[in-house]
Amino acid sequence: MRVGGAIKRPIKIRDVKPAYPETAFASRVGGVVIVEARIGADGSIVDARVLRSIPLLDEAALDAVRQWTFTPTVLDGEAVEVIATLTINFQPD
């Protein structure tokens, strides 16, 4: 099921910041990587793939997202697996 409508977005309870790749940081590469994640009934990330890519940042974004944990999404009193779109923003300072 996709998040939206009657399916409420799960709340992130464990956030892991992505490690900024040294090559990308030195080159001042930044921007937004958009990831589609399948969140299991227990709130863990089951699968993730990049929808909007910045090649130097994709793997760091996926590595971080795979460690995130969410509250379970409940539908009709039962925890269900959902698909959500997640945004990871990289800003070189």
Distance CA 1, CA 24 (A): 34
Whether residue 55 has pLDDT greater than 90: yes
Percent of the chain with pLDDT over 70: 97
Residues 6+ apart with CB under 8 A from 48: 35, 36, 37, 38, 62, 65, 66, 86
Average pLDDT of the residues in 71-91: 92
Structure tokens at 18: 């992505």
**The pTM is what?**
0.89
Per-residue model confidence (pLDDT) at position 85: 95
Structure tokens at 22: 């040294």
Environment class of residue 11 by beta-carbon count within 10 Å: exposed (0-12), middle (13-18) or buried (19+)? exposed
> What is the C-alpha R_g of the chain?
14
Average pLDDT of the residues in 26-48: 97
